[in-house]
Structure 1
Amino acid sequence: MACSEAMYAMGGVLPDHASDQRCTEFVGGLAGHTQSGTFRMARADARPWLASLPGERNRPGGVGSDSVVERKEGLALGILRPPGSLQADEVRVDVRRESQDTAVVTFETFDH
């Protein structure tokens, strides 16, 4: 599955110049319909891109107004019931700093 299709199904847009895209889709079984993937993007663009993703935010304690969680290794965002065509209950997106210029994004959807 193309990562741009996965992002569109979640109601979002793949960041400009995303590279090394590896996304998969699983339909059926106990997990329902799920998607997961990884790609690289410009580290400087990671937080604005995360904040632009649509949907109801999972707001754990201690996060900023954009619901992006800052961690030692990078950033994270939880979205409840994404607005796209994918019937997922939750999307988790993690951004790990790879170098001064790049970050690796990992996402996974959950259908509880």
Structure 2
Amino acid sequence: MKKKNTTKLPYSITTSTLTKINFLFELSEDTKSPISVHQLLDLILSYINKETKITKLSNGDIIQSLAMALAVRMKMVVADEKLVEKIVIDCVSKAINAAKKAEVNSHISGNS
């Protein structure tokens, strides 16, 4: 019996303002390890969070750096360039759609 691949990856994060955001990312059918994807995402976001506290990076600079890193990684892949571009665009599109649908729970402080 063939094992069915996981097609969705839940991911939650709490911002510095205690807002909790819950995502449900659609994975590529070619995803080899959803656990590794989750762990790498944790590492990337943790490092960005750490750097932001030290250097006061702007959101624009962070987004630009991530886009450039994706372009660099895309060029490092030894495969048909058009195919790699299609995969990247598909993955980014799915991630943006997950962000649009993400559930945001703001922390409310004080007495009510």
TM-score, normalised on structure 1?
Answer: 0.24
Name the structure where helix makes up a greater proportion of residues: 2
Higher Rg: 2
TM-score, normalised on structure 2?
Answer: 0.24
Name the structure where strand makes up a greater proportion of residues: 1
- If asked which structure has higher relative contact order (CA below 8 Å, sep 6+), I would say 2
